[in-house]
């Protein structure tokens, strides 16, 4: 009876749901040579065979998912620009393979034009110009005699009716033929592509000499654009900029965009210099735009800068930084952008990360300064120092952030964003002083605090002798991870290198938000020093407007001190015609003066 029940169960097992009685994948007769498994008619394989099949399917699915994630991560990690990688690999192959001169002359679609002269040319020396439509020209160089070095003159770029300068490049003539980059191709719209022009985006190769050659070969007139793909472009020494130029990168920040940096294995500083050409007014370098480029520095384990990028403008005009990133590029005792005797400089939609962490940390990331010998961190023999002040400089829609680790822990505070800390004025005329600075709609988080040169330099925004400065629509945030500043904004005039006027004018501080702000001295310090002017008995400053500023999270006791000592703790000035209204702490305490007179020191 028991045996019959077993046989009955075997003959009448249920068909899996969804099946019409046809053999399943596991029962396919073709997989058992037409025989039932184990010779038993209708018998299905053991459960472990099904499990093996299911596991196999799962493993294949996981492999597909992992491969997809890997490709996605490769995109996120940048694998830089495909064209850049292909071009670099091609150049690398040409550099390593032993090709004959004829093979090089016809490589990659090029063809020879003819021999060109080189300095000190001897019998057996050869330099052959090769060209390809829409590409940089090149030279195939070799010698059948003894190896030596020579010089080759590369013509400048011709575009429309404009011509660039020729450059002289050094070449090594050896038995093995090599290729030398020549004149870059420029499109009808004035675009030169950096990779096609011979630059390498691997973060190691020093591109300085080639970039400077390309910049010199650009036509001297007409608006040109040098386009950089994603990748890390390394430079050392000094980059000499030219006028009427847009340096356009690819957005993505220091991880996924166009990055200017020093070679990964090098320590030191890179200088981006805007030559003056002997100018004495605002007529030197002009109309330069940096767009979507990240400037990336480096630091040691103890957070000391090891790679810095410093930009020096003197007698320049109309220089723009748009959607740029400046991460850990500020050098000790220096600035990110030092603007001396220039006008029309704008930084917009950009980000500054970290500070120098050594030396005079009060020095601003973006400084308005004068063209004076002691003020400039870099210059050449053509530079004219005549104390010309900077005017019309705007910092807007930008972020100033501390350096944090991958877990969000603060490593270094944010740099002092904007201002100046020294003045050089020969006369009491308005034209002798820094004027028309604008700090608008920016976000500042955990700014650095400095006490070494007095409390005024510890202010987040500080100016020494300046007129018509506007600070409006900004958000200043303290998270409690850094030391508080002495002041929010300070204007002072203690420099010993200037003639002090009877007074300054035109300070506007409106509609700013201060979160978690608990300054150690006061809020706004506007020309308080008794010797701020040539005539100490006169008013120091006029036309001050402090309106609509909000303080969120300021300790109540401190806010009450501001209220009780309005003219000594909240708004300190030796001026007149001072307007303060609608300034509130947490929407409760109103810090408003009742008349202009109470603001007078």
Dump pLDDT digits (tens) for 181-214: 999 999 999 999 999 999 999 999 999 999 999 9
Lowest mean pLDDT among 334-343, 373-382, 454-463, 546-555: 454-463
For residues 516 and 519, give the distance between their C-alpha atoms in angstroms, rounded to a whole number: 10
User: Sign of torsion, CA 348 488 317 164?
Assistant: negative
Name every residue whose Cβ is closer than 8 Å to that of residue 538 and which is 6 or more positions away in sequence. Answer: 502, 503
Q: Is the pLDDT of residue 45 over 70?
A: no
The band of 369, judged by pLDDT with boundaries at 50, 70 and 90, is: very high
- 206 token code pair: 């020093």
The band of 397, judged by pLDDT with boundaries at 50, 70 and 90, is: very high
Lowest mean pLDDT among 94-103, 118-127, 350-359, 445-454: 94-103
Mean pLDDT over each residue of the chain, to the nearest integer: 83
Q: Is the pLDDT of residue 599 over 80?
A: no
- 532 token code pair: 């701020």
**pLDDT on residue 30:** 38
The stretch 215-224 carries a mean pLDDT of 96
For residues 111 and 128, give the distance between their C-alpha atoms in angstroms, rounded to a whole number: 10
For residues 552 and 518, give the distance between their C-alpha atoms in angstroms, rounded to a whole number: 10
The stretch 263-276 carries a mean pLDDT of 94
For residues 54 and 459, give the distance between their C-alpha atoms in angstroms, rounded to a whole number: 67
For residues 63 and 400, give the distance between their C-alpha atoms in angstroms, rounded to a whole number: 43
Dump pLDDT digits (tens) for 97-121: 578 999 999 999 999 999 999 998 9
Give the total residue count for the chain.
601
Tell me which DSSP letter residue 458 carries.
G
**pLDDT on residue 428:** 72
Quickly list DSSP for 44-113: PPPHHHHHHHHHHHHHHHHHHHHHHHHHHHHHHHT---HHHHHHHHHHHHHHHS---HHHHHTGGG-EEE
- 130 token code pair: 């090769």
For residues 296 and 293, give the distance between their C-alpha atoms in angstroms, rounded to a whole number: 10
**pLDDT on residue 290:** 99
Dump pLDDT digits (tens) for 581-597: 899 999 999 998 654 44
For residues 311 and 321, give the distance between their C-alpha atoms in angstroms, rounded to a whole number: 12
Residue 433: how many CB atoms within 10 A of its CB?
A: 25
Dump pLDDT digits (tens) for 295-353: 999 888 888 888 999 999 999 999 999 999 999 999 887 889 999 999 999 999 999 99
**pLDDT on residue 600:** 38
Name every residue whose Cβ is closer than 8 Å to that of residue 237 and which is 6 or more positions away in sequence. Answer: 208, 270, 271
Name every residue whose Cβ is closer than 8 Å to that of residue 122 and which is 6 or more positions away in sequence. Answer: 143, 145, 148
**pLDDT on residue 430:** 75
Q: Angle at Cα 435 formed by Cα 450 and Cα 486, nearest 5°?
A: 20
Q: Is the pLDDT of residue 502 over 70?
A: no
Q: CA Rg, the chain, in Å?
A: 34
**pLDDT on residue 357:** 67
Dump pLDDT digits (tens) for 534-551: 544 555 677 889 999 999
The pLDDT > 90 percentage for the chain reads 58
For residues 322 and 432, give the distance between their C-alpha atoms in angstroms, rounded to a whole number: 29
Strand partners, 173: 148
Lowest mean pLDDT among 55-69, 100-114, 155-169, 396-410: 55-69
355 touches 342 (CB < 8 A): no
The band of 67, judged by pLDDT with boundaries at 50, 70 and 90, is: low
- 578 token code pair: 């001072």
Q: Is the pLDDT of residue 76 over 70?
A: no
Q: Is the pLDDT of residue 575 over 70?
A: no
The stretch 209-221 carries a mean pLDDT of 97
Burial environment of residue 592 by CB neighbours within 10 A (0 to 12, 13 to 18, 19 or more): middle
Report the relative pairing of strands 399-401 and 351-353 from DSSP bridges.
Answer: parallel
Dump pLDDT digits (tens) for 135-189: 999 999 999 999 999 999 999 999 999 999 999 999 999 999 999 999 999 999 9
**Closest C-alpha among 406, 521, 421, 510 to residue 461:** 421
The band of 452, judged by pLDDT with boundaries at 50, 70 and 90, is: low
> Where does 304-402 show beta strands of DSSP type E?
305-314, 317-322, 325-327, 337-340, 343-348, 351-353, 366-369, 391-396, 399-401
**pLDDT on residue 555:** 94
**pLDDT on residue 169:** 96
Q: Global pTM?
A: 0.82
Q: Is the pLDDT of residue 38 over 70?
A: no
């Amino acid at each position: 009876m028991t045996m019959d029940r077993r046989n009955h169960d075997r003959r009448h097992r249920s068909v899996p749901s969804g099946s019409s009685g046809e053999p399943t994948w596991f029962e396919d007769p073709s997989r058992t040579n037409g025989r039932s498994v184990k010779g038993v008619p209708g018998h299905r394989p053991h459960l472990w065979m099904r499990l093996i099949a299911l596991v196999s399917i799962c493993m294949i699915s996981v492999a597909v998912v992992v491969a997809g994630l890997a490709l996605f991560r490769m995109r996120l990690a940048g694998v830089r620009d495909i064209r850049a990688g292909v071009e670099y690999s091609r150049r690398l192959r040409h550099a390593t393979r032993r090709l004959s001169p004829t093979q090089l002359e016809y490589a990659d679609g090029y063809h020879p034009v003819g021999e060109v002269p080189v300095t000190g040319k001897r019998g057996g020396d050869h330099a052959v110009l090769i060209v390809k439509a829409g590409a940089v020209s090149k030279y195939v160089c070799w010698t059948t005699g003894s190896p030596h070095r020579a010089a080759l003159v590369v013509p400048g770029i011709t575009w429309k009716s404009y011509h660039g300068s020729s450059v002289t490049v050094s070449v090594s003539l050896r038995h093995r033929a090599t290729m030398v980059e020549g004149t870059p191709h420029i499109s009808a719209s004035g675009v030169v592509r950096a990779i096609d022009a011979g630059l390498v985006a691997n973060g190691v190769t020093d591109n300085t000499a080639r970039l400077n050659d390309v910049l010199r070969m650009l036509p001297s007139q007409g608006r040109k654009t040098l386009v950089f793909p994603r990748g890390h472009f390394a430079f050392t020494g000094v980059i000499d900029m030219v006028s009427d130029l847009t340096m356009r990168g690819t957005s993505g920040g220091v991880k996924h965009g166009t990055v200017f940096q020093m070679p990964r294995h090098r320590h030191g500083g890179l200088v981006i210099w805007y030559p003056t050409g002997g100018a004495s007014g605002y007529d030197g370098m002009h109309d330069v735009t940096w767009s979507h480029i990240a400037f990336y520095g480096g630091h040691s384990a103890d957070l000391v800068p090891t790679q810095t990028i410093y930009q020096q403008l003197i007698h320049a005009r109309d220089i723009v930084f748009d959607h740029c990133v400046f991460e850990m590029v500020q050098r000790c005792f220096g600035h990110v952008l030092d603007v001396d005797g220039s006008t029309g400089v704008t930084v917009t939609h950009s980000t500054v990360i970290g500070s120098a962490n050594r030396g005079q940390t009060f020095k601003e990331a973006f400084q308005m300064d004068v063209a004076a010998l002691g003020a400039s961190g870099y210059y050449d023999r053509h530079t004219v120092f005549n104390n010309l002040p900077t005017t019309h400089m705007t910092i807007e829609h930008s972020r100033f952030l501390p350096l944090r680790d991958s877990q969000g822990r603060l490593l270094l505070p944010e740099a002092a964003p904007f201002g100046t800390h020294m003045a050089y004025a020969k006369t009491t005329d308005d034209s002798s002083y820094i004027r028309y600075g604008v700090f608008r709609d920016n976000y500042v988080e955990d700014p650095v605090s400095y006490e070494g040169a007095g409390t005024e330099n510890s202010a987040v925004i500080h100016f020494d002798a300046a007129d018509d400065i506007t600070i409006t629509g900004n958000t200043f945030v303290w998270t409690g991870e850094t030391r508080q500043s002495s002041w929010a904004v300070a204007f002072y005039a203690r420099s010993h290198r200037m003639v002090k006027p009877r007074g300054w004018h035109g300070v506007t501080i409106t509609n700013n938000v201060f979160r978690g702000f608990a300054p150690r001295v006061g809020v706004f310090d506007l020309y308080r020093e008794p010797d701020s002017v040539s005539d100490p008995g006169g008013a120091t400053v006029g036309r001050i407007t402090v309106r609509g500023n909000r303080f969120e999270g300021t300790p109540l006791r401190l806010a009450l001190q501001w209220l009780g000592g309005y003219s000594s703790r909240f708004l300190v000035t030796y001026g007149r015609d001072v307007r303060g209204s609608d300034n509130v702490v947490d929407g409760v305490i109103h810090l408003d003066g009742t008349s202009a007179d109470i603001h007078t020191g």
